A and B are shown apart, each in its own frame.
Chain A
């Protein structure tokens, strides 16, 4: 079981992702905005799942803060599936990117990989970006 911070401004998407993660046995803390995420971030999380496009503090800013604070792996989510937004997320310090809509299994595969192998992922993510 891992502690996951979910940063997502769409309540319906947040509800769905939360249920997927909880079903897999994880404990989920939901931040409905980038600002809330920045407030919660000093907490001890094993993984951050973060939407990119949000009003106010963007997902990119949240990812940069996570990076500044330490090695916690980040999975970026976005409905904007262009190669550019992927690259932006990876450059900011995310280890993986998942375009919406996605399958639950794909989400969980990414989550498991990042939790068990954060360092490997960070390296391949860095090369990819």
Chain B
């Protein structure tokens, strides 16, 4: 009797356990169904073994009909992006344990292309999954947010420009007045600070243009020499006040097709960085000369230098040298990012050499007679 009782109790327990298990599975399914993401699990051959029910809401497909379809056909990817997606999946299937990400457009069941971010992890060797997990996320909300951010930055920088024009213009007029030495210096510093603010506003606006794919340079025939000398002059006050020796070596330059405002912005960014990082007693050097068929611009400093491991990401957006924030040096991390874009838009390149404790040398190489032929 007791034995039957125990058996009955066990059966009941098992039934309750199964019920719990089912409830848990339902819960997971419901969670995935209401997710904004579509989750796929593929097998070794790239066949879909699982797809979350959210595929109906996000992409308009029936999850049942979707299963066992091969992702390798990639019919659901926009034709123009298939090569890209194929490469991503091939990479993913070939590398157990690794993560691959990419962005492409998929086709909604109605035919509308939807930009997505794909995140995939190869878990074929993970016994609990034995599959490749692919997560697709609709990028439209993010793209919309980025568009709004870009519009906001454009509006703000436009609004900043007008008062900045007044500050710079009136300070310039004031400079012409008979002033005491102290007042004269104050006016110079107002001008320099306004110039720095202008460069920052330019960098900010340009970054939002690069992000929106609308960055452009307006080239015209120009001799950069007087512009570079003007620019150098605007750094004399900073040099004097920070006790840094400023050497300017600008050779005779031929007229070239370039966007003068943009190139001045590049050299302004480099000089502004150089002065920021160079301690009193140090030296900043600006040089410009013709080498073969190139114009070579150099900005060198005797600052702390850039650690080797930071050099590769130096020109990335928002990248700032680690010791910059530690040393309390201000900056938006946009100057070098945008400078690289400007130089490349002129068919040129920007290089950096740096040794910790010795200083840094930035070199801008611009083809004088149009971009070099490919290769």
Interface pair B165/A13, CB less than 8 Å apart: yes
Q: How far is the CA of A102 from the CA of B217 in the complex (A)?
A: 18
How many residues from A make CB contacts under 8 Å with B?
A: 23
Inter-chain contacts of A40 with B (CB < 8 A): none
Q: How far is the CA of A102 from the CA of B198 in the complex (A)?
A: 10
What 0/1 readout, one digit per residue, does chain B (230-274) give for beta carbons within 8 Å of chain A? 100000000000000000000000000000010000000000000
Interface pair A102/B218, CB less than 8 Å apart: no
Q: How far is the CA of A99 from the CA of B161 in the complex (A)?
A: 9
Say whether A10 faces chain B, with CB atoms less than 8 Å apart. Answer: yes
Say whether A38 faces chain B, with CB atoms less than 8 Å apart. Answer: no
Q: How far is the CA of A17 from the CA of B170 in the complex (A)?
A: 9
What 0/1 readout, one digit per residue, does chain B (78-93) give for beta carbons within 8 Å of chain A? 0000000000000000
Say whether A86 faces chain B, with CB atoms less than 8 Å apart. Answer: yes
Q: How far is the CA of A99 from the CA of B205 in the complex (A)?
A: 14
Say whether A39 faces chain B, with CB atoms less than 8 Å apart. Answer: no
Say whether A83 faces chain B, with CB atoms less than 8 Å apart. Answer: yes
Q: Is the interface of A mostly helix, strand, loop or mixed?
A: helix
- Determine which of A80, A102, A104 lies in contact with B173 in the assembled complex, contact meaning CB atoms within 8 Å: A104
Say whether A69 faces chain B, with CB atoms less than 8 Å apart. Answer: no
Q: How far is the CA of A104 from the CA of B167 in the complex (A)?
A: 11
Please give me the residue from chain A that is nearest to B221 by CB atom.
A124
- Determine which of A16, A83, A86, A99 lies in contact with B169 in the assembled complex, contact meaning CB atoms within 8 Å: A16
Say whether A70 faces chain B, with CB atoms less than 8 Å apart. Answer: no
Inter-chain contacts of B216 with A (CB < 8 A): 82-83
Interface pair A10/B162, CB less than 8 Å apart: yes
Interface pair B173/A20, CB less than 8 Å apart: yes
- Determine which of A13, A19, A128 lies in contact with B162 in the assembled complex, contact meaning CB atoms within 8 Å: A13
Say whether A55 faces chain B, with CB atoms less than 8 Å apart. Answer: no
Say whether A12 faces chain B, with CB atoms less than 8 Å apart. Answer: yes
Inter-chain contacts of A83 with B (CB < 8 A): 216-218
Can you pick out 10 interface pairs between chain A and chain B where the beta carbons lie within 8 Å of each other? A13-B162, A13-B166, A16-B169, A79-B165, A86-B218, A100-B165, A101-B164, A102-B169, A103-B230, A105-B172
